[in-house]
Amino acid sequence: MNDPTMAVATPAETPAGSIYDIGYRRYEGPRLGRAHAVRSMFSYSLRSAYGIGRGTRAKIAPLLLLTLAAIPAIAILAALALLRQFPGGEAFEEELPIRYDTYFGTITTFLILFCAAQAPELFGRDQRHSLLALYFARALRRTDYALARIGGLVAALLIFLLVPQAILFLGRVLLSADVLDGVAGELPALAPLLGQAALAALLLGGLSMAVSAFTPRRAYAVAGIIALFIIPSIVAGVVVGLGSRDVGRWLVLLSPTSILDGTNAFLFDTPLGGSFEGIALGLPDVAYFAAAAVGIVGSIAISIRRLARLTA
Amino acid sequence: MSQAAQPIPALQPTPAPPPTGTLVLEHVSRWYGNVVAVNDVTFEIGPGVTGLLGPNGAGKTTILHMLAGLLRPSAGTVLVAGQSAWRNPAVYRSIGLVPEREAVHDFLTGRAFVEMCARLQRLPEPRAAAARAIATVELESAADRPVGTYSKGMRQRVKIAGALVHEPPILLLDEPFNGMDPRQRLHMIALLRSMAAAGRAILFSSHILEEVERLADQVLVIHAGRLAAAGNFREIRRLMTDRPHTFVVRSSDDRRLAAAFMAQPAVFGTQLDDGRLTVQVAEFGGFTRAVATVARDAGVSLFEVAPTDDSLESVFAYLVSRR
Amino acid sequence: MIFSEVARVTLRALLGRRRTILMLLLAGIPILVGLLVRANSSGVSDVGPTLDGLVIRIVLPLVALVFGTAALGSELEDGTAVHLLTKPIRRSTIVLAKVAVAGTLTALLLVPSTVIAALLIGRAGVGSEAALAMGVGVLVGSYVYVAVFATLSVLTSRGLIIGLGYALIWEGLLAGVLPGSQAFSVREYVRGIAELLAPSTMDSMGGGAGALYAAVALVAAIVIGSLRLAAYEVRGAE
């Protein structure tokens, strides 16, 4: 490199043109590397799923949906508190429709809307604005990117599923006369609750990201996610209702919400939801579990494969 | 396209608006929430080419969009050909707008796009008008290809063709030279000049000084939402008295003339190198009036007196740094 | 002439290849269900409720949402609408042409699909009456939904997700809890119209009210959309 002082001191010797070193420096310090890049991508995705770090308008949809999902928990706590005021009110407590094990079914619509609203943002925006090349020019690899983005949505869905449950849990603990007793009483519900939330977040998050990976245009991705999550269960319901069990069996295994219902019944002994079409089908419980596993692994593999082939 | 053609009579609505292609802003401000994009701007533009010059984010697009009726002014009055532009679609008979964004439906051919613009302007012969406009921007060879296959410069030209297909008295162009190669640039400069010569008012924005300097008769300098200067840019330069003007002087005896200049109160300094005398003066007019007398008194013959730094760049750098 | 010009370019924009395939798939689902039913039984008598849950609740709003927002909102978003907005044409003409094209496309896809599905599902004698009633209901519903969603997409840049929330939460969840919300539910209008034509097909708020509300909603959506478009602000590409 040229020494600038030399260049200035001896103008007569400089050639017709010269490039001066005016002090720009290369970064020579330590670099945080691939693991840090993946962690950053993950936390960035999780934050943007709730609109954190983006404008107010990006926050409205996720936070409104989360609020709506928490309302049943708050309402049922209010009902419980009222029932306790009356002698004999406890008898009705078990009749209340909203419990830990039915909560997932209660908020399914909000959960699906959350997926449809946020998954296309996480994969689609980078494609629409041609940002992938910038990411892949860093330590981040394509698979890392896909996994970090999917992980971000799954974590966001976990929060979405667990916040209302946490409200319910805390409320029930506080409603009991002795707090320690209350915690002990509610504790057994905890493990299945976490398991169900993880399962739902992985399956719905993975599938909605797989749909989004294929369609950068938001409208298609949103329509695709809604169609995938809602239509198979309706079709299955119609077909089963008409007595076509053989066809119904396979259709139920195409419906993500039905798969979740069945798998939860298999793993956590939850009661099957009232609208569930699978009751009459006589499918082995393992079938649902297998379908869930195939859905989760398959959808993530599809996203990774798609990302590997996209021209950045 | 015949440059002298007046707007087709059928275009004018029955109570014809004044045919003057004038653009007027009176104390116009526009803010987005807390951010002031345009701050109390007043100007009036008539026929000819006017350049709207300013760095990115200065408010150029906001001004153009207010003139094109696409943004409501937060305060003040915007008049286009004598009418308010906001919520008044009739004004688009007199305006052609070339927006900065490249968005044109990819599936349309260039010809189909321009013909669509002609039909939406209710031109009596949309095909012929479109063909004329396409010829004007020299896009005939690509006119029957989908816009999706166009280069940046071709998209720019097809948008210009769409904007001038109804031969409006006013043409608004937002960064029209983006993506054009030098030859297309020259052609576009010639085209806009000839359209201005036919009596149209043309306002174009740019952050590139060279473009504005070569094309514009008048300049509006926008900085941080405020009008920093307006008018002929040599005139603007003359008005900036607190900044030294630099002249290059050639004469029969530069050394003696330099000494004589130094005795003048308006002269800051002189410099003699490579046989060129440069003189820095405080006041443009005073020096130009005095220079002949000084030379005569010193017994020196003047060969040439030329201002050196009247490039728009120096004017602009000065105006921007002053704030 | 202006109307047909706007309609023509809208039609070509809406018939993008991928969108058409996705929408054809959606429209094919009711027919698929009909074939499955036909293959396994001799048909059912309650055609209305069966198709209500599938077509009116999901497929119709979804197709109308994609076409409705694409016709107006996405063009405003990607900037192609500026060329329409800077022409001396009435804003109501633009909105009318867009709604007409998107609504017609929705109806062209879904009315045949609904009628065929109803004929396939219905037991002999029930099918044709229900098919007519459902077909007319879906025809009207296509235009009303498209008008509502197109206007939403002018009112807000998040029209897609708000429209979805309207269809799934307002019309889906709240209709059961708050019966009064049915007066503002396009789904209920469609059900009402179907009931008007074939009283046995549907159990609804009442056919006459449904038809009336549908007409009011259609006009209101177009008027609001036109007014909003007239005051639509185009900012620079920041």
Q: What is the pLDDT of residues B96-130, one digit of tens each?
A: 999 988 789 999 999 999 999 999 999 999 999 99
Check residue A296 and give its pLDDT.
Answer: 96
Check residue C230 and give its pLDDT.
Answer: 94
Given a cut of 60, whether residue A169 has pLDDT beyond it is yes
Query: What share of chain B in percent tops pLDDT 90?
Result: 39
Based on the fold, state whether residues B201 and B99 are members of the same structural domain: yes
In a domain, residue B154? The reply is yes
Mean pLDDT of A248-264: 85
Given a cut of 90, whether residue A119 has pLDDT beyond it is yes
In angstroms, the separation between the Cα of residue C226 and the nearest Cα of chain A is 23
Strand partners for B110? none
Identify the chains in contact with B, defined as 3+ C-beta pairs within 8 A: C
Query: What share of chain C in percent tops pLDDT 70?
Result: 95
Given a cut of 70, whether residue B40 has pLDDT beyond it is yes
Threshold 0.80, pTM exceeds: yes
Q: Taking Cα atoms as reference points, which of B183, B162, B187, B184 lies closest to residue B173?
A: B162
Tokens 């001191």 found at: A9
What CATH number is associated with residue B305? 3.30.70.100
Q: Which residue has the higher pLDDT, A142 or B232?
A: A142
- Domain range enclosing B182: 9-231
Given B214, B231, B248, which residue is the final one in a domain? B231
> Checking DSSP bridges between strand B95-98 and strand B218-223, what pairing results, if any?
unpaired
How many CA atoms within 13 Å lie on the side-chain side of C165? 16
Highest mean pLDDT among A55-59, A223-227, B194-198: A223-227
Check residue A3 and give its pLDDT.
Answer: 46
In angstroms, the separation between the Cα of residue B62 and the nearest Cα of chain C is 7
On chain C, the residues whose CB falls within 8 A of the CB of B95 are: 86
Q: Do C33 and A227 touch (CB under 8 A)?
A: no
Q: Do C22 and A220 touch (CB under 8 A)?
A: yes
Check residue B275 and give its pLDDT.
Answer: 74
Q: Which residue has the higher pLDDT, A246 or A251?
A: A251
In angstroms, the separation between the Cα of residue C110 and the nearest Cα of chain B is 26
CB C30 within 8 A of CB C51: yes
CB A18 within 8 A of CB A2: yes
C-alpha B60 chain-centroid distance: 11
What average pLDDT is seen over chain C? 89
On chain C, the residues whose CB falls within 8 A of the CB of B120 are: 2, 5-6, 84, 87-89
On chain A, the residues whose CB falls within 8 A of the CB of C41 are: 242-244
Based on the fold, state whether residues B260 and B198 are members of the same structural domain: no
Based on the fold, state whether residues B103 and B225 are members of the same structural domain: yes
Based on the fold, state whether residues B219 and B250 are members of the same structural domain: no
C56 pLDDT tier (thresholds 50, 70, 90):
very high
A169: burial class by Cβ within 10 Å (0-12, 13-18, 19+)?
buried
C194 at interface of B, judged by CB pairs closer than 8 A = no
Tokens 């396979």 found at: A250
CB B277 within 8 A of CB B248: yes
In a domain, residue B144? The reply is yes
C-alpha C232 chain-centroid distance: 24
Based on the fold, state whether residues B212 and B279 are members of the same structural domain: no
Given a cut of 90, whether residue C139 has pLDDT beyond it is yes
Q: What angle do CA B30, B31, B34 make, to 5 degrees?
A: 165
Q: Is the predicted ipTM greater than 0.95, yes or no? A: no
Q: What is the pLDDT of residues B149-189, one digit of tens each?
A: 998 888 989 999 999 999 999 999 999 888 778 888 888 88
Q: Do B119 and C1 touch (CB under 8 A)?
A: yes
Check residue C203 and give its pLDDT.
Answer: 63
Does chain C reach chain B with at least 3 CB pairs under 8 Å? yes
C116 at interface of A, judged by CB pairs closer than 8 A = no
Check residue A306 and give its pLDDT.
Answer: 93
Based on the fold, state whether residues B49 and B128 are members of the same structural domain: yes
Contacts of residues A28-36 at CB distance under 8 Å and 24 or more positions apart, as own/partner, are: A31/A139, A32/A139, A33/A139, A34/A139, A34/A140, A34/A141, A34/A144, A36/A139
CA separation, residue B163 to residues A35, B18, B159, C88 (Å): 52, 20, 6, 12
On chain A, the residues whose CB falls within 8 A of the CB of C54 are: 231, 234-235, 238
Based on the fold, state whether residues B207 and B301 are members of the same structural domain: no
Check residue B143 and give its pLDDT.
Answer: 94
Given B206, B231, B256, which residue is the final one in a domain? B231
In a domain, residue B153? The reply is yes
A86 pLDDT tier (thresholds 50, 70, 90):
confident
Q: Do C88 and B89 touch (CB under 8 A)?
A: yes
Which tokens hold the place of C205?
């708020």
Mean pLDDT of C11-24: 86
Which residue of chain A is at minimal alpha-carbon distance from C160? A219
Based on the fold, state whether residues B41 and B78 are members of the same structural domain: yes
Based on the fold, state whether residues B191 and B249 are members of the same structural domain: no
Given a cut of 50, whether residue A31 has pLDDT beyond it is yes
Q: Do C37 and A239 touch (CB under 8 A)?
A: yes
A154 at interface of C, judged by CB pairs closer than 8 A = no
In a domain, residue B128? The reply is yes
Check residue A148 and give its pLDDT.
Answer: 96
On chain C, the residues whose CB falls within 8 A of the CB of B102 are: 79
C89 at interface of B, judged by CB pairs closer than 8 A = yes
Check residue B243 and give its pLDDT.
Answer: 64
Q: Rounded to an integer, what distance in angstroms lies between the CA atom of residue C214 and that of residue C208? A: 10
Check residue A312 and give its pLDDT.
Answer: 66
What CATH number is associated with residue B115? 3.40.50.300
Check residue B322 and give its pLDDT.
Answer: 60
- Best mutation target, C29, C35, C40, C178, to test chain A (most A CBs within 10 A): C40
- Best mutation target, A242, A250, A254, A275, to test chain C (most C CBs within 10 A): A242
CA separation, residue B73 to residues A307, B30, B37, B62, B77 (Å): 45, 5, 11, 9, 7
Check residue B4 and give its pLDDT.
Answer: 44
Does chain A reach chain B with at least 3 CB pairs under 8 Å? no
Strand partners for B173? B98, B204
The string of DSSP codes covering C132-187 is HHHHHHHHHHHHHHHHHHHHHHHH-TTHHHHHHHIIIIIIIIIHHH-GGGGGG-HH
Nearest to C160 among A215, A222, A243 (CB): A222
Q: Rounded to an integer, what distance in angstroms lies between the CA atom of residue C121 and that of residue A130? A: 47
Q: Residues of A numbered 44-73 whose beta carbons fall under 8 angstroms of chain C's beta carbons: which are they?
A: 57, 60-61, 68
Check residue B67 and give its pLDDT.
Answer: 95
Based on the fold, state whether residues B134 and B192 are members of the same structural domain: yes
On chain C, the residues whose CB falls within 8 A of the CB of A243 are: 40-41
Q: Rounded to an integer, what distance in angstroms lies between the CA atom of residue A259 and that of residue A263? A: 6
Given B231, B255, B288, which residue is the final one in a domain? B231
Based on the fold, state whether residues B116 and B100 are members of the same structural domain: yes
Q: Do C62 and A113 touch (CB under 8 A)?
A: no
Q: Is the four-CA dihedral A55, A57, A58, A60 of positive or negative sign?
A: positive
Given a cut of 50, whether residue A5 has pLDDT beyond it is no
Identify the chains in contact with A, defined as 3+ C-beta pairs within 8 A: C
Based on the fold, state whether residues B137 and B197 are members of the same structural domain: yes
Query: What share of chain A in percent tops pLDDT 90?
Result: 40
Q: Taking Cα atoms as reference points, which of B126, B234, B139 lies closest to residue B191?
A: B139
Q: What is the pLDDT of residues C97-120, one digit of tens each?
A: 999 999 999 999 999 999 999 998
| Domain count within chain B | 2
CB C220 within 8 A of CB C213: no
Given a cut of 70, whether residue B323 has pLDDT beyond it is no
